[in-house]
Structure 1
Amino acid sequence: MLTVDFKHFPLKDGDRLLDLGCGEGRHAINAYIAGNIDVFAVDLNPSDLAIAQQRQQPFAEKSNAKSFHLQCADALKLPFPDHCFDKIICSEVLEHLPDYQGALTEIQRILKPGGTLAISVPRAWPEKICWKLSSAYHQVEGGHLRIFNSQTLNREIEQFGFKRYQRHWAHALHSPFWWLKCALWNQQEQSRLIRGYHKLLVWDLMQKPWLTQTLEKLLNPIMGKSVVMYYHTEDTV
């Protein structure tokens, strides 16, 4: 399930892309498959990185035109030199970080002049419903530390020298799923409703039927669970 839409974030041959907070590698692997680029993916969770490595293996190629690298790293202390990436994805990460502005500082440091950045965070009002329905939802280890107002976050990001060129919302069908999970937090494993909804989401992901795909596109501006914003930098350092 991709949050970043590569139609708004086109890849060029020879790009160096960083997936910051890659999790199990959904964006990094899709970017590697899509183009002749060098993909770097970092996360603090070794088990997620192991899953990402396993999932990438069927697509691995012996090619000088592309490469795939995984590394355990802290978003506040990235092990990369200044201005070394053409593109950076930071999807559903900032809400987990105590010092998210520190991560933005690092992104600013390692992104090349003229580079592009894609950032997504949970949308405010669907997230607020989750918080109201379940305190455990955001109090678990590694949970969400804050609810972002996208306009305020955009202004903060632009203060780092980025300029937004596109915005959209994603995963509208996932909002009710998470509301159900939060409302039935202590009965999730036993809930037939949650299991049934999860099967629907998996079916939608795998089969991409016209009905649910169209419904989600129509609902995304209204109740999309994530807001996705795209930026470019100035051409000079």
Structure 2
Amino acid sequence: MLTVDFDRLGLEPGDRVLDMGAGAGRHSFEMYRRGADVIAFDMDADELSHVKDLFVAMEQAGEVPVGAEADVKQGDALALPFGDGEFDRIVAAEVLEHIPADIQAIEELVRVLRPGGTLAVSVPRWFPEVVNWKLSVDYHNVEGGHIRIYTKEELVDKVTKRGLEFVGVDYAHGLHSPYWWIKCAVGVDNDEHPLAKGYHKLLVWEIMKQPTVLRLAGKVLDPLIGKSMVLYFHKPETA
């Protein structure tokens, strides 16, 4: 289930790309399939181990273009272990809302992005997220959970003040917002509740089969209640 539009990001085969906060690797895998030189970066060593294994399996199965490379790197988003301007493209998907020192993390992303490069940042969208917080404290009040809710204006301001140019915004996963509203209403851990269980089956059908009716529904719902907001930025060639 991808959040970032790689065509809008400008991803090309051979680009060196950073997936910051890669988690289970969903964006890293797709960028690798597209022929990029990928670094999946995260604090979680166990997650990265699984990502590394799948990188190897993808190469062995012939799922990636010849010459594409992928690796993992563990570390801290506040002190990225990379040189200035090292990456052509950067993805930071659903991670900044977890980081207390988000401005420092943004500064690091800007530092390692080359002049002329592009950055995609996705975070939970303001309205769906506010509903979740209102319905359930348990939704966000957990170790490593969401600590803030961004408006588009706030996040654009924080990134552009660090030297990038705002390119545009997309919204994604409109079908997923009602699921989380249901979960927050009935109990975030109550997976067996009939409403939560039934809606989860719908989402699995969407992800696995991509039926036309749900794709069309998503196109209608994404701009209205899309759970994720995706902002795209460009680093000027000169300061």
Count of aligned pairs between the two proteins: 236
Pairing of 1:9-20 with structure 2 (within 5 A): 9-20=9-20
**Native 8 Å contact 2:10 2:118 kept in 1:** no
Pairing of 1:66-85 with structure 2 (within 5 A): 66-85=68-87
Task: State the 1:152 CA deviation.
Answer: 1.6
Residue 55, structure 1, aligned to residue 19, structure 2: no
Q: Deviations over 1:132-191 (max 9, x none)?
A: 111011111110000111112111111111112121100000001111111122651321
Residue 179, structure 1, aligned to residue 178, structure 2: no
Pairing of 1:183-202 with structure 2 (within 5 A): 183-185=185-187, 188-202=190-204
Match of 2:40 in 1: 41
**Native 8 Å contact 2:118 2:232 kept in 1:** yes
Q: Deviations over 1:2-42 (max 9, x none)?
A: 0001121132232100000000000001000012x210011
**Native 8 Å contact 1:162 1:232 kept in 2:** yes
Give 3-state SS (helix, strand or coil) of 2:140's partner.
helix
Aligned mate of 2:101, from 99, 114, 128: 99
Task: State the 1:128 CA deviation.
Answer: 0.5
RMSD: 1.5
Task: State the 1:55 CA deviation.
Answer: 3.3
Task: State the 1:53 CA deviation.
Answer: 2.5
In the alignment, the residues of structure 2 paired with residue 77 and residue 233 of structure 1 have an alpha-carbon distance, to the nearest angstrom, of 20
**Native 8 Å contact 2:32 2:69 kept in 1:** yes
Give 3-state SS (helix, strand or coil) of 1:13's partner.
coil
Letter paired with 1:200: L
Match of 1:229 in 2: 231
Residue 159, structure 1, aligned to residue 158, structure 2: no
In the alignment, the residues of structure 1 paired with residue 129 and residue 71 of structure 2 have an alpha-carbon distance, to the nearest angstrom, of 32
Aligned mate of 2:133, from 131, 134, 137: 131
In the alignment, the residues of structure 1 paired with residue 132 and residue 178 of structure 2 have an alpha-carbon distance, to the nearest angstrom, of 10
In the alignment, the residues of structure 2 paired with residue 180 and residue 60 of structure 1 have an alpha-carbon distance, to the nearest angstrom, of 40
In the alignment, the residues of structure 2 paired with residue 77 and residue 2 of structure 1 have an alpha-carbon distance, to the nearest angstrom, of 26
**Native 8 Å contact 2:12 2:34 kept in 1:** no
Residue 203, structure 1, aligned to residue 193, structure 2: no
Compute the TM-score of the two structures, normalised by the length of structure 1.
Answer: 0.95
**Native 8 Å contact 1:8 1:166 kept in 2:** no
Which residues of structure 1 form unaligned runs of 5+? none
In the alignment, the residues of structure 2 paired with residue 100 and residue 120 of structure 1 have an alpha-carbon distance, to the nearest angstrom, of 13
Match of 1:169 in 2: 171
Match of 1:30 in 2: 30
Task: State the 1:208 CA deviation.
Answer: 0.8
In the alignment, the residues of structure 2 paired with residue 186 and residue 229 of structure 1 have an alpha-carbon distance, to the nearest angstrom, of 28
Deviates more, 1:3-12 or 1:179-188: 179-188
Deviates more, 1:200-209 or 1:8-17: 8-17
In the alignment, the residues of structure 1 paired with residue 57 and residue 217 of structure 2 have an alpha-carbon distance, to the nearest angstrom, of 32
